[in-house]
């Protein structure tokens, strides 16, 4: 089959429809995944993208022709799919989504039993090889398809992570970005006393208001404008498939995913003292400090959900967080859920009886550069040059290069998909931060 192999990413499959991803390719991917997972049944969910229905039909045809049954979850969120696979014991799951990408993209996130993700080096590479070899197999006993509505079960599951009776009547502005969050949030907040001001809750795969990517500041302007018009305790934004969640304080200032990780860890450890918390190596030092202060055991990891989920199992970690807005829970089959993270934060705020910005003052004590990308020709050579220039610090190559000093640290790592180096710097104050960022950039871009 003639296809663009670049649609196979480190953690999922994603491409432009129909140029890179069409119904023929979707059929072949379904057929291959059914062969690779060797399941009796696969749960399939889809987001609200314009192409998701036709992609669903083709994908499931490939699965059914392989003799495997399909459980059609309908339109749901990615964390809803993970929940279904874990809760109901399906042998695998496929979510049709391109996450935060623009409307003309679509793709697949796949997992095996117990919501264990497939990745570019574990499963998706086999699928790509099958497509390249035109390897299609059909069973004489075709599979069957059945519809399942998980909305009530998923709502019950998400609320089981907190005590709903102690949640205060917060006023919250929530931007669903015309993604799947609007659908999954309504039944949850019907059971809580919070007053919700919904923005773009109607699923619309054309994304008429803004792209479904809240990590980009320009996509938060509608939410921030709405918050200025009223009195809100906090703001919340979700990405397109609603697995990532971002918080804003009452003045509209967005929190980094690492600060949310610290907040969730704080509350999780109050329920689970002494447990292990994972955080990726781009997160602020504040995360590990909060975990230790609460009596937990912090473990630093590489970036990426296909990496952090197996490590959570290895360490039996109760929770794990990433700077990108992914939050993982042991009691959620080690899978991520933005919804559960939001509920845990609401419980923390309810118990603390203090506004979010006051709690943040105690933990958000460092200054950070944010991710700075630089296009370079020879990535390994450049990383080695930076390592030599900052040889005086404590360094490791866990994920790219991390060098730590007493009053600042940085991580420099290659992109998984582009010839880019991604730089993150954190320091005790703004003066140190600006000085170190300037020095690093001069070397990286020389």
Catalogue the active-site residues: 99
Burial class (CB in 10 A: 0-12, 13-18, 19+), 106: buried
Contacts of 406 (CB under 8 A, 6+ apart): none
3-state secondary structure of 50: coil
Q: Are strands 69-75 and 145-147 parallel, antiparallel or unpaired?
A: parallel
Cβ pair 334, 111 in contact under 8 A = no
Structure token pair of residue 179: 């993604």
Task: Report H helices in 143-256.
Answer: 151-159, 181-189, 221-228
3-state secondary structure of 84: helix
3-state secondary structure of 282: coil
**DSSP code of residue 210:** S
Contacts of 193 (CB under 8 A, 6+ apart): 167, 168, 169
Cβ pair 86, 333 in contact under 8 A = yes
3-state secondary structure of 340: helix
Contacts of 322 (CB under 8 A, 6+ apart): 257, 261, 279, 280, 282, 283, 303, 305, 308
Nearest CA to 71 out of 54, 51, 89, 48 is that of 89
Nearest CA to 81 out of 153, 189, 185 is that of 153
Strand partners, 247: 236
Structure token pair of residue 174: 């929530």
Over the range 141-179, which residues count as b (16 or more CB within 10 Å of their CB) and which as e?
Answer: eebeeeeeebbeebbebbbebbeeeebeebebbbbbbbb
How many helices (H) and strands (E) the chain has is answered by: 14, 20
Whole-angstrom Cα distance, residue 336 to residue 11? 14
Cβ pair 410, 440 in contact under 8 A = yes
């Amino acid at each position: 089959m003639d296809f663009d192999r670049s649609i196979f990413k480190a953690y999922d499959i994603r491409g432009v429809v129909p140029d890179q991803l069409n119904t023929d390719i979707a059929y072949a991917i379904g057929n291959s995944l059914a062969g690779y997972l060797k399941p009796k049944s696969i749960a399939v969910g889809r987001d609200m993208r314009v192409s998701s229905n036709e992609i669903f039909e083709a994908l499931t045809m490939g699965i059914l022709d392989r003799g495997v049954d399909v459980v059609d979850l309908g339109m749901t969120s990615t964390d809803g799919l993970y929940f279904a696979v874990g809760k109901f014991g399906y042998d695998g799951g496929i979510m049709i989504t391109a996450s935060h990408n623009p409307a003309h993209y679509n793709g697949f996130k796949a997992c095996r039993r117990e919501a264990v993700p497939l990745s570019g080096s574990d499963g998706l590479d086999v699928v790509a090889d099958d497509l390249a070899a035109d390897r299609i197999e059909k069973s004489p006993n075709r599979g069957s398809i059945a519809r399942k509505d998980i909305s009530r079960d998923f709502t019950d599951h998400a609320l089981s992570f907190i005590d709903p009776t102690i949640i205060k009547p917060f006023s919250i502005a929530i931007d669903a970005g015309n993604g799947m969050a609007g659908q999954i949030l309504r039944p949850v907040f019907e059971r809580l006393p919070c007053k919700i001001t919904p923005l773009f809750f109607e699923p619309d795969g054309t994304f008429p208001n803004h792209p479904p990517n809240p990590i980009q500041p320009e996509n938060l302007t509608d939410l921030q404008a709405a918050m200025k018009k009223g009195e809100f305790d906090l703001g919340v934004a979700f990405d397109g498939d609603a697995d990532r969640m971002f918080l804003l304080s009452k003045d509209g200032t967005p929190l980094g995913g690492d600060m949310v990780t610290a907040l969730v860890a704080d509350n999780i450890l109050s329920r689970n003292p002494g447990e292990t918390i994972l955080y990726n190596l781009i997160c602020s030092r504040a995360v590990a400090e909060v975990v230790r202060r609460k009596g937990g055991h912090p473990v630093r990891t590489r970036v990426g959900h296909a990496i952090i989920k197996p490590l959570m199992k290895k360490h039996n970690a109760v929770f794990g967080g990433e700077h990108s807005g992914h939050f993982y829970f042991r009691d959620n089959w080690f899978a991520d859920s933005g919804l559960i993270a939001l509920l845990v934060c609401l419980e923390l705020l309810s118990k603390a009886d203090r506004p979010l910005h006051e709690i943040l003052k105690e933990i958000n004590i460092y200054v950070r550069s944010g991710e700075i990308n630089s296009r370079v020709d020879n990535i390994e050579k450049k990383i080695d040059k930076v390592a030599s220039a900052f040889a005086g610090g404590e360094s490791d190559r866990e994920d790219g290069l991390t060098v730590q000093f007493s009053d600042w640290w940085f991580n420099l790592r290659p992109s998984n998909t582009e010839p880019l180096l991604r730089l993150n710097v954190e320091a005790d104050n703004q003066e140190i931060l600006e000085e170190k960022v300037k020095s690093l950039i001069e070397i990286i871009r020389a």
